[in-house]
Structure formats: C-alpha cells, structure tokens
Structure 1
Amino acid sequence: MHVTGSRGRLLTSRRSLLGLAGVAAGTSLLPRAGRADAASTIVPRRPIAPADALIAFGHTGPITDGGWSMVHDRGVQAVRRAFPGIRTVYVESVPYSADATRIFRQFVAEGANMVFATSEYGDFIKDVSDRAPDVAFMECDGTTLTPNLGWYYVSHWYASYIIGIAAGLMSKTGRLGFIGAFPIPSVYASANATLLGAQSVNPAMTLQGITINAWFDPQAATQAATALVDNGCDFLCGIMDEPAYLRVAVARGVRAAMWNTGMLKYGPEAYVSSVVLDFNDFYVAQVRALLDGTWRPSAAFLTLGHGVDRDAWGPGVPEGVARQADDMRDRMLAGYNPFRGPIHDNHGRLRVPAGVTLDDAAIYHCDWAVAGVSGLG
C-alpha cells in the first residue's frame, strides 16, 4: 500500500493492491463514435477543490510489468505532479470477473469522484457507473458512452505500420512472428497493421500469430516466441506487457519490435523499435476538467505524435531502413492514411474495396485478419 496526500483513507480489497496519492492528465484527441444521445442527458457538474478530490485507477496488471500498467501508472504520477495534494487510489491486476465489479464499487464507496479503468471491463464497470451517476468514469479500450462513462484508446496501428515497414525491409525469411494475448480487435489491429506495413515494401511477407490468453505471462510469451522462431520467423512483434520475447530474439539472433514503452535495455542487439504510449497529458486533462466542473464523457483516441508513437530506432536498424519507415511517419503526421483498399482477409474475402479507406473507428472494431496472417483466426 502507498499512501500520500491529505486526508488519505484506507481502501481494502481481496487483491491487496492499493495506493493513495496525487493525480494529472492532458492530450490531443480524435473523437470517435459512441452513443450520440449521451451528452444531451449529462447533469452539469460543480467544480471540485483538489483537496476534496479522490481519483481511482483500476489496472489490468502490476504497475511493475514494464509495459501497459507501468505506462498508465506514469500517468497517475503525472496527475500527482500537476495537482499537489490531490488523492489517488489504485488497484493492480484487476481480474476480468465479478471481482472487478466489487473493486469499482469499492472505489465509489470510498468516495472517488473519478474512476479510470485502464483496460476494457465492459459490463463490470458499466454496472457500477450506472449506479453512481455523480461519479465520472473513463474506460480505456472501451466502447460504451453514457452520461457519466466515456472511453479512450490509442490509435497504435499507425506506429505498428511504420515498424512493419522496417520489418519488411529487414526480414530475410519474409516471416513475422506475432505474440498476442487474445484474438480481439486491438490484437487484430496491431497484427494487421504491422503486416500491411511490411507488405507495402515486400508483398510476399506473412505473419504467424500465437495468442497466449494473458497480457502478462513471461513464460508463455517465451514459449510462443521460441515456437515462432523455430518455424522460420526472423522478426518478432506483438502486444505484450513485458519484454520476454525480446530476450528470445536476442538468444536466437533475430529481430524484435515491442509494445507499450521503449525496451532497448532488455536486448539492444535485437531491438528494432517499440510502439510507445504516453497517457500523461490525457489523464491530467481529464482530472483538470473534473476539478473545473467542465468534464463530459467522451470517446477519444490518442493519436500519432500525441500519446502514441514509435520509439527511437535500435542501433542495429540501417539508416536507409529508418529513413524509409520515417518517410511514412511524416506522411501520416501530415494526414495520410495508409489503410486503403483493396484489402482482403486471410480467407480471401474482399473486406475493403478499392477506393475505400479505413478510419480509426473501423480499425478499432476490426475482428478479422488480413491476407497473409495465420494463427489469429
């Protein structure tokens, strides 16, 4: 347990995972589709003094995971710096079960004015938010917009596409290996974008995926990565909350691109780059709006260069490869969208006709694999 700030109160849970302190947020956002009628029923909010505010965070993993939950915890720390004296509480490793509902209810019972779920908890959080209309709720990777519940996510597919270009230029076997948690839209979006980027410079590229049913399981990730390299993949990528498969890449002499944060230190000789996330500004902005009395539920993406980007290129990335990949990054920052038809799925069905461009909402809800992907569905 970690306690700081004024009038700290004790929150207990079966997960034994607590912290009280200060909070902050702010970022450039791209609005997305939600329940359009939600805003019309919002009850006006009153300003809150920082000393009277309690902000709660429910994390999907441990904040020491070196990845997803650690990045969100950095956002919690940014809130504390921005609003000295504000109180925060967090619970790590919130399960995807009825225990999540109990934890979110505890936040409300403890007097939280705002609750962030740093992963998708669906009805587990919505059931609580529906019964606590005076509390502001935000769900990362969510889909529901109500008068007091919004969601936010990162448009990570652009950074993945950029890294995919490097993968396509550097791979000798033409086979990418991908480690994911579950066959869900965020995983499809990452795998699809990486392969499409690779295919933009080498149309023969393929991607083999393995899902391990966990975001944080170093042993399973190591086993999956080893199997992929044994099957001829010479470039590893994926969405994991720790660097296990980078260590496999080092041991096996292949390349790897990571996720969540820069992980160069875990294997510089194999490291290519990483999709890096930064929720600091977003959290500061949300809390500031709550304190000002101007908070409204929203559906928003953190965009390329504003909350998500690629990490610096690893030392083994040739200058020409970096330049070619970054040329695409420059085009994206200028407004170019590379997710253009025709795009077929891995069963041969035309999913995106010629002349059609996938917007962020369509990519975010994607539940199919592009041609060349195997192992994900």
Structure 2
Amino acid sequence: MTVSGPRGRLLTTRRNLLGMAGAAGSGLLLPNGARAAGTPAWRRPLAEADAVIAFGHTGPVTDGGWTMVHDRGVQAVRRAFPKLRTIYVESVPYSADATRIFRQFVAEGAQMVFSTSEYGDFIKDVSDRAPDVAFMECDGTNVTGNLGWYYVAHWYASYVIGIAAGLMTRTGKIGFLGAFPIPSVYASANATLLGAQSVNPAVTLQSITINAWFDPQAATQAATALADNGCDILCGIMDEPAYLRVALQRGLKAVMWNTGMLDFGPEAYISSVALDFNDFYVSQVRDLLAGTWQPQGRFLTLGHGVDRDGWGPTVPVEAARQADAMRTRLLAGYNPFRGPIHDNHGRLRVPAGVELSDLEIYHSDWAVAGVSGLE
C-alpha cells in the first residue's frame, strides 16, 4: 500500500496488504451488515489533518490511461488538502482480494474510499459493514446509505469524434477494441458508430474484446487483426495506447480514450475521449470535510469531466468543423441518441421521437445496427 503524508511525501508500508486484510478491522466492520445507531461519521465535519482518503485502482498508475487519469485526481486532492493523508492500491483484482483491500482501507482509518472502477459486491459488502465510512464506486450502480457511484457520460464525446471518423474513413470500416461486452463498452461503440453514421450512413464498426482493460500485447494483436480486415480507423475503450502504435505503423488513423495521446503518434491521431476527475475528487473530499457529503449517483458531463481532446494535425479542417458544430449543439442540450435506432439484429430498440436518457445509455447491453463482434 502506498500512502502520502501531509506534504505529499510518499511512504511505502512493508506489511503485506492482502495478508493483513483478512484479520484487520474486527473492531471497525459491523457484522452481518448491521448499521451503527446515530448519525454516521461522514455527516459530521472532519478536520483536514485527521482525514484519510483511500483509492483502489483497477490498474497501475503508470498505465498511460484510465488509472493514470484517476491518479491525477489523487494528486489534485493532495494539492487542495495538503494536511490530509491518502492511501492507494494499484491493480486491485476482481476477486475476494478486492474485498480484503477495501476492508483494509477501513482498518487503516479511511473516512472515504473510492474504487476507480466497478467492483460491485466486493465494495458493497464492505460499505454495508462500515456505515461510518463514505464509499464511491466509479462505473458502479448501487446507491445505499453510505455508497454512491460516479461515471463519465463519455458517449457524447465519442459521438463528436465519431463524426470526424465517419468523414475521414476511406474503407467505411471502423475497428473497435473493448475489454468486455459490458454497458460502458456498448455505449462507447454505439456512440462512435452513430456519430460516424450521422455523416456517412454506410460506415460499419467491427469490435474485438480482449478480456482485459490493460493488456498491451492482446490489444496489439486485436488491432492488427482489425487492420488486416480493412478497418482504416481504430478506436476503443482501453486503458493504454497500444492500438495507436499499430495505427501509426500501418498508416491508419486512431481515436483514443482516457487522455490526450497525440505524442504517441501524431500522424495517426484523430483525437481522444479525454477524462478529468480532478474537480470531482476535490469536491467530494471537500464535502466530506464539511460534513455535507451525500451518497448518490452522478455523471461527469461534456465539458465538465469529459470532452474531446484537441484534433490531430492530419484531421481535415472540414471534418473538425462539422464535429465541433455538433459539440456546440450538445453543450446546448441537444440529445443525438434519438429514435428510430435498431440493434444489430434488426430489432427496433428506440422508436421514432424517443430519446435515450443518460441512465439508459449507461445501462445499455445491446449494439446498434452496423456493429459486429459485440454480443
């Protein structure tokens, strides 16, 4: 486990986190999900110097993508509140070990725990037994007495960039890399293709899922397969830039995710769905310290936590102009996810005149017409 002191100084404990977690916290975790009587601690003001904030990351902070962006948020918290202490663990597994890690955060005295990816029952079981601790789960779905969720409404930025991709593709084939066939991947693939089809109806999208968020070798192999199949634009929702390198080597174009990645291959770069959790994390900690934090679900919206990165140098001016015109409409409240929309089996999913809400997009488990390889 890595912690920061009052001045951001990094310390590394020599204790085995997973070994301790099973036994630690016997006096802190309530049995059978029972809740303590009275006002929970997170409803009372907390001195900055007494605060401990914990983060459980799905990958390494050096991944160049998802976890790196969250780590920037951790650093923003340290700058905003230099007297508090932060704890983080990288590469938290999706297993019972995750539960032990979250329990250990509580045992270490954390008053607020963030999981920077979805951990479902692994974090909920711990939050149920630690009612005095505030929990927030990124890409989660649960709201309980002390657990909320947060996520980025990335589908709008994907739609904008999809317009540029639809105008730039020569073959009419977009390749898409995802980790798993889960709602966030469906939302990203669907939005990208719908944006592309809004200016080029013949465009299709071929997807490959690699069963990992961070696996550069598998991502490289999948990107190569997509290129071999005629996809001249590669995009996806991965935690690292492997497929941008494939695009650069093959003379293709790429749309990235998490952060600006122009430096990894400017000749191939179209743009990126760029995330910024800094203000969100600072505001959550500020609310905790003030005793005003509340468990709820929250989207970070276009221009406020998620947006497109700058356009790459090879993006045609007209493609950028059309895409940015849509971005302006979206910022004004326009919703492009309106029927009729059919799925990739021909079924009408969204009737004419009906708009999909952010929650409906967030929970989508189907692919739009023109998407293949994502079931």
Q: TM-score, normalised by structure 2?
A: 0.92
Q: Does 1:231 align with 2:229?
A: yes
Q: Distance in 1 between matches of 2:280 and 2:342?
A: 35
Q: What amino acid is the match of 2:91?
A: S
Give 1:300's match in structure 2, choosing from 275, 278, 298. Answer: 298
Amino acid at match of 1:5: G
Report the CA distance between 1:12 and its aligned residue: 4.0
Judge conservation of contact 1:42–1:296 (CA < 8 Å) in 2: no
2:55 alignment partner, one of 44, 54, 57 = 57
C-alpha separation between the residues in 2 aligned to 1:175 and 1:3?
Answer: 46
2:284 alignment partner in structure 1:
286
How many residues get paired? Answer: 353
Match of 2:107 in 1: 109
Aligned residue number for residue 23 of structure 1:
none
Equivalent in the alignment of 1:168: 166
Question: 1:352-373 deviations in whole A, cap 9, x for unaligned?
Answer: 0000000100000000000000
| AA at the equivalent of 1:51 | A
What displacement does 1:2 show? Answer: 4.6
Query: What one-letter code is carried by the residue in structure 1 that aligns with 2:43?
Result: R
1:211–1:202 distance in 2 versus 1, CA, 3 Å:
same
Report the 3-state secondary structure (helix = DSSP H, G, I; strand = E; otherwise coil) of the residue aligned with 1:63: coil
Alpha carbons of structure 1 residues 372 and 66: separation in structure 2 relative to 1, 3 Å: same
Separation in 1 of the partners of 2:136 and 2:204? 37
For 1:230 and 1:339, the matched residues in 2 are separated by: 31
1:13 matches 2:45: no
Amino acid at match of 1:78: A
Is 2:141–2:149's contact at 8 Å kept on the other side of the alignment?
A: yes
Partner SS, residue 17 of structure 2: coil
Pairing partner for 1:241 from 239, 242, 247? 239
Aligned to 1:4: 4
Letter in 1 for 2:365: D
Deviation at 1:14, TM superposition (A): 3.8
2:327 to 322, 329, 332: 329
Paired residue for 1:96? 94
Root mean square deviation, CA, Å: 1.7
- Structure 1 spans left out of the alignment, 5+ residues: 17-40
Quick check: 2:4–2:87 contact (8 Å CA) kept in 1?
no
| Conserved 8 A contact 1:42-1:148 | no
Q: CA deviation at 1:232?
A: 0.5
**Identical amino acids, percent of aligned pairs:** 80
> Does the aligned pair in 2 maintain the 1:222–1:244 contact within 8 Å?
yes
Aligned to 1:138: 136
Confirm or deny: 8 A CA contact 1:15 1:94 kept in the other structure: no
Alignment match, 1:346:
344
Instruction: Assess, with a 3 A threshold, how the Cα gap between structure 1 residues 341 and 69 changes in structure 2: closer, same or farther.
Output: same
Q: CA deviation at 1:15?
A: 9.6
The unaligned stretches of length 5 or more in structure 2 are 21-37
Question: Where does residue 268 of structure 2 map in the other structure?
Answer: 270
Indicate the SS of the match to 1:210: strand
Q: Report the Cα offset of residue 85 of structure 1.
A: 1.3
| Structure 1 counterpart of 2:150 | 152
TM-score, structure 1 as length reference: 0.91
Q: Give deviations 1:36-72, integer Å, cap 9, x for gaps.
A: xxxxx98471111011000000000000000000000
- The equivalent residue for 1:203 is 201
Distance 1:223 1:306 in 2: 34
Q: Secondary structure at the match of 1:302?
A: strand
Q: Deviations over 1:95-151 (max 9, x none)?
A: 000000000000001111000000000000000000000000000000000010000
Q: 1:169 to 1:136 in 2, by over 3 A?
A: same
**SS of 1:95 mapped into structure 2:** coil
SS of aligned partner of 2:106: helix
Deviation at 1:4, TM superposition (A): 3.4
Query: Aligned pair in 2 of structure 1 residues 127, 2: CA closer, same or farther (>3 Å)?
Result: closer
Amino acid at match of 2:314: G
User: Secondary structure of 1:167's partner?
Assistant: helix
Per-residue CA deviations over 1:182-228 (Å, capped at 9, x if unaligned) read 00000000000000000000110000000000000000000000000
2:244·2:269 contact (CA, 8 Å) conserved in 1? Answer: yes
